[in-house]
Amino acid sequence: MDVRMRINRWTAGRRELLYGHAVTSGLVQPHFVVEGQGIDEPISSLPGIHRQSVDVLRQRIAEDVAMGLVGHMLFPVHSEDDKDPEGHLGLRDDGPMMTALKALREDHGDGIVLMADVCMCTVTDHGHCGHVHEGTILNDRTVTTLADMAVVAANAGADYVGASDMMDGRVQAIRSALEEAGHHGTGVLSYAVKFASAFYGPFRDAAGSSPREGDRRSHQMDPRSPVKEAVMEAQLDEAEGADVLMVKPALAYLDVVAAVQATTHRPVAVYNVSGEYAMVHAQHPEADERRAVVAEIMHAFRRAGADVIVTYHAREIVAGGWLGVEA
């Protein structure tokens, strides 16, 4: 697979996210987008994080960008009544995430970095990350659908499509589909090393993406896996054309982050996942108490080799200047 080195340099926002000198440059704030107007619904399992309609989200992100937070990752939240086994919602260009991408690109141009989740778990009624037949996820059929979903997100204005499913071969399929559609500047953020972790619970509640039956252990990595398997996953995705490689979760896998960083030529991202965030909030519900703990965690990610940090703490870190002083 040919690599387009320009993708990570394509816009001012991407250059700031990946190469900025400020300690907060590489932070990315996740968002949950719903249909409707005026919706700003707190998520009980994720204190301080809300499900928001596009109009509310636009205002919130405008405030974020104004204070220097340029990285934003979007996840769609759909009504259960609208989902089906085939995930057709993921191919619609008028859903909440696609509508938000278009609006935010119009609002901020190239000064913002928009990452769009590309996975079937939020759009299927069974909650799995792909097409299912007799209890088995069909890898190759799923990859074809994911590639189509990625093109829809790129059409809407995504800088990076987040391949979060862990199907074999999906990075190459997505890269090829983007090229065929003329999206030569759209990047692939590969969840290259994604473990079948117990730390995802609050996210699945927020996004409505829990499997109705079974689990995701047939495709996500076993937490007991050796580091060499994680490195191989990352190397395969790099060879297939990934522009950024992610390790998820982050906190329990810093050894993996370090190993991936030592063996790749691509930027490395980590996802400070919902369960990690919720644990910190449970122990330190007040921001003044939380500040030092969060700063320590972020420095650990950086020391392990993370170039980009996706974290629900991003907004409070930037707003409070939590990484600007010694913890």
Nearest to 46 by CA among 251, 284, 277: 277
Which residues, in sequence order, are CB contacts of 138 under 8 Å at separation 6+? 130, 131, 132
248 is catalytic: yes
Element (H, E) at 169: none
Which residues, in sequence order, are CB contacts of 68 under 8 Å at separation 6+? 22, 24, 318
Report the SS3 class of residue 276. helix
Q: Are 23 and 69 in contact (CB under 8 A)?
A: no
* Per-residue tokens: 46: 């994720």
83, 102, 228, 248: the active-site residue: 248
Please spell the DSSP secondary structure of 72-88, one letter per residue.
Answer: EEEEE---GGG-BTT-G
228 is catalytic: no
83, 102, 194, 228: the active-site residue: 194
Alpha helices per DSSP H over the chain:
12-19, 54-66, 96-108, 139-156, 170-180, 201-207, 227-240, 254-263, 274-283, 287-304, 314-320
Catalytic residues: 194, 248
